[in-house]
Amino acid sequence: MIPHRYASILFGLILSGLMSAIVSGIATVRTLGIVPDFAAIWAGSWITSWAVAFPTVLVVAPLARRLVAALTDAPQAGTR
């Protein structure tokens, strides 16, 4: 089992992997259509995208959390 202190990194790894897979898949289909070697082309695009997305998520996530905290009200005691 992975220690809890790595939870935010693991979250970023999984989130960036899934999002880059979906976005690169959609972009590849829109650009090329469903071609015979689609899976290989998409996989290459996905790995490249993930290599950029993962460190980006690690840097941007804390900024996004602060922005969301600044734009929302703090929960009242006893409410969600």
Residue 80: band (very low, low, confident or very high) from pLDDT cuts 50, 70, 90: low
Query: Does 77 reside within a domain?
Result: no
Whether the per-residue pLDDT at 77 is higher than 90: the answer is no
Q: pLDDT for 10-52, tens place per residue?
A: 999 999 999 999 999 999 999 999 999 999 999 999 999 999 9
**Which long-range contacts does 46-53 make (Cβ < 8 Å, 24+ apart)?**
46/20, 46/21, 48/24, 49/20, 49/23, 49/24, 50/16, 50/17, 50/20, 50/21, 52/20, 53/16, 53/17, 53/19, 53/20
Per the structure, how many domains does the chain have? 1
Verdict on whether the full-model pTM lies above 0.85:
no
Structural domain includes residue 7: no
Range of 23's domain? 15-69
